Amino acid sequence: MTSQATGSTASCADPEASTTLTVTAAREAILANISPILTTRRLPLRDALGQALAEEIVSPVDVPGHTNSAMDGYAIAGSDLPKQEYRDFTLIGTAIAGTPFSQDCRPGECVRIMTGAPMPNGADTVVMQEQANLIDERRVRIGTGHRPGQNVRQAGEDIAQGSVVLNPGKRLTPADLGVMASLGIAEVGVRRRPRVAFFSTGDELRSIGEPLGEGEVYDSNRYSLYGMLTRADCERLDLGVVKDDPAALKQAFVTAAEAADLVVTSGGVSVGEADYTKTILQQLGEMHFWKIAMKPGRPLTFGRLGDSLFFGLPGNPVAVMVTFYQFVLPALHYLASGTPYRPFTLPAVSGCAIRKQPGRFEFIRGILGQQTDGSLTVNSVDRQGSGILASMSRGDCFILLPETCDGVNRGDTVTVQPFSALV
Ligand code: AMP
Ligand code: MG
């Protein structure tokens, strides 16, 4: 149902083969298979928050529209400033934002002016009220130490008429809405949001509200996925829990692919269960079964299901979140906007030693702190097991330990990726 097409991935010619890939190589192979959504629609400004801009926004006006005062004070001509001692000016009126002073300000005269008020004709300089003396109702004394043109905002200083304000693909922030409102723009063209269908697989899974039998667990993945997809600003289609049963799985895959641009499942890709999932997926589309040199999150299936992109994430709740953030989110961002996904990272000093073998990328859950001098520190969450979802809840960042890293000593600087940057 989508406009995007997928080609063959760079990674494996034989889809039966399990290929080991680095995190970077997997991400690149995924992105190479995505064509951004091009369908656009026009929305009222408020409704466009978070969505990808489909057009270039060019300013129809100057902002500010008129040269105005940046301070409460007195407007004068800069050429009138005293060269020594002081000079007294005749106060001829008041300019307030929304109520301009319409007479000219001539030599020797000043106008009381409030922040945002248009500068009167003849005045190009504002002396702050704290730096002037009101001698009587009609006389203002101004000393030396001022600069012609000070405390004045020029028309077009913020945004010049005809300049490009926002580029296509930008996901609109609260500030972007404000900027467009300041230009008088009421409607904006955005790209259609991606539709994402998701479900959990596993015979042991129960939905919350149901009683738990022996060996059964509540399905948590659909809730963390719901949260991450909501933050990512897509349309969600929750297809529930599907049994590890070939017919049920096949039906679910087909339904999901018909409804969505992108399908995300969790579970069923680890060794043992993978066999029939693999068989079904191969019947329905073009699939790649990867082992990623990473922890947590090793097995990952990526491919095309009908016209939809497909991600088969591991079942493990922490691995679901890590692989979503590292692979699905960049894919969704590119699908929605056509722009690269670049969540920021920060350096932080590790408050603890972290053991690690080189060869794989590890995503350690960390807790950020800040020292009195403002520098960041990070400590790993104490229990890091990939089934321990509370580690994601207690943590607020990933400590990124790339393939070559062979461990961290206390006091070493590491790179962290705050969860708050992963949207
Ligand atoms: P799997 O990849 O299906 O073998 O699952 C790996 C582990 O994650 C098992 O312990 C599963 O019980 C658990 N798991 C799988 N799916 C979910 C889910 N949706 N919610 C919570 N735990 C899950
Ligand atoms: Mg399972």
Residues 406 and 309 reside in one and the same domain: no
Count of domains in the chain?
A: 4
Residues 212 and 298 reside in one and the same domain: yes
From residue 154, how far is each of 18, 67, 361 by CA, in Å?
63, 4, 52
Taking the centre of ligand 1 as the mean of its atom positions, its distance from the CA of residue 269, in whole angstroms, is 10
Helix (H) or strand (E) holding 266: strand 262-266
The residue behind tokens 């330990």 is 401
Residues 235 and 276 reside in one and the same domain: yes
Question: For a pocket test of ligand 1, which of 198, 316, 320, 392 has the largest count of ligand atoms closer than 8 A to its C-beta?
Answer: 316
Question: Average pLDDT of each block of 10 consecutive residues along the chain (423 residues)?
Answer: 40 52 97 96 96 96 94 98 97 96 97 98 98 96 97 94 96 96 96 97 93 96 97 95 93 97 90 77 92 93 95 94 98 96 96 96 97 96 86 96 98 98 93
Residue 220 CB–ligand 1 contact under 6 Å: yes
- What is residue 6's predicted lDDT score, i.e. its pLDDT? 39
CATH number at residue 144: 2.170.190.11
Q: Is residue 10 part of a domain?
A: no
- What is residue 257's predicted lDDT score, i.e. its pLDDT? 97
**End-of-domain residue from the set 279, 296, 329:** 329
CB neighbours (10 Å) of residue 77?
19
Residue 202 CB–ligand 1 contact under 6 Å: yes
Residues 315 and 252 reside in one and the same domain: yes
Distance CA 136, CA 191 (A): 61
Closest CA to 364 of 375, 376, 379: 379
Closest CA to 315 of 234, 393, 242: 242
Q: Is 138 helix (H, G, I), strand (E, B) or coil?
A: coil
| This prediction's pTM | 0.85
Residues 250 and 307 reside in one and the same domain: yes
Residue 228 CB–ligand 1 contact under 6 Å: no
- What is residue 24's predicted lDDT score, i.e. its pLDDT? 97
Residues 80 and 140 reside in one and the same domain: yes
Residue 299 CB–ligand 1 contact under 6 Å: no
Q: Is residue 336 part of a domain?
A: no
The 8-class DSSP code of residue 159 comes to B
- Bridge partners (DSSP) of residue 170 are none
